[in-house]
Amino acid sequence: MSTLRILVPVKRVIDYAIKPRVNPAKTAVVKTGVKHSLNPFDEISVEEAVKIRERNVKSPSSSTPNVDEIIAFSIGPPRSVETLRTAMAMGADRSIFIEVNDDEEPESLGVAKLLAKIVQKEKINLVIAGKQSIDSDAGSVGGMLSGLLGWGFAGQACNITFQKPNFCVIEKEVDGGTETVRGSLPMVITTDLRLNEPRYATLSNLMKAKRKIIDKLTPEELGVDISRRLLTREVTEPLPRQGGGKVEDVDSMIQRLKELHAI
């Protein structure tokens, strides 16, 4: 059985608990001075890659292949390095970083093209990506990457196991339940929330992660044009919903719902 070389793309996004605000010109979301963190789905991807390695280490005779290397990747403004450090503190071996200005972040297609190049360069045979970033909510990088590479794709995975030789069995979240597919490696898998419980990066691991390598690349070096095809014309905040106030008891609740024609 071959060994796994896993690529885990990660993104620095506004923390999930923060309510984003639009700038006065309505051109973008305010990002300066706002708490950012690792995209929650990417945390799960990193965790899964590390878990696969640990499963193999624990029982080398199992069908889980040996993990040769886990590489984290990110593209973003300079501070995205922090997210790569977090990924490495969780267990990624090294990172690849492409630095761009805040307003130059590519859309999914650009990211997928960069990833496809890195997959070839680093001889990756498994990509574990989050199912969506919680800022753009597009959910398309993983699917696009699998298309560009001509690899199998399993989206929204909630369970990943391996079978000899080189087969990966993935249970996926679908509407109304789950379904299970079996694909042969190489593959692209995107992770759902229920795949695992990500570990915290401990302080000592964060310190160790500082010594791990981050290779910096540019889109030009990879020969990828990341210019945007989707232009944001305007961003707005939805009009706030007006709460209708509270009622005293169950009878008035029924009464009020009737007035609103809800029942």
Comparing CB distances to another protein, the nearer of 175 and 204 is 175
**Partner residues linked to 161 by β-bridges:** 169
For another protein, the binding residues in 23-52 under the rule CB under 8 A are 29
* Position 162 contacts another protein (CB under 8 A): no
For another protein, the binding residues in 72-131 under the rule CB under 8 A are 107-109, 112, 131
Among 1, 81, 100, 158, binds another protein (CB under 8 A): 158
Among 136, 161, 205, 214, binds another protein (CB under 8 A): 136
Q: Within 10 A of 95 (CB to CB), how many other CB atoms are there?
A: 25
* Position 199 contacts another protein (CB under 8 A): no
Q: Are the C-beta atoms of residues 169 and 186 closer than 8 Å to each other?
A: no
Comparing CB distances to another protein, the nearer of 41 and 209 is 41
Q: Which residues are CB-contacts of 90 (< 8 A; sequence separation ≥ 6)? A: 43, 46, 47, 50, 198, 199, 201, 205
Count the site residues for another protein by CB under 8 A.
79
> In this structure, what token pair is assigned to residue 71?
């590489």
Select from 56-64, 68-76, 179-187, 213-221 the region that touches another protein (CB under 8 A). Answer: 179-187
From the CB of 158, what's the least distance to another protein, in Å?
7
Comparing CB distances to another protein, the nearer of 9 and 91 is 9
- C-alpha 198/C-alpha 217 separation (Å) is 28
Report in angstroms the alpha-carbon separations of 63 from 15, 48, 166, 184: 37, 16, 9, 14
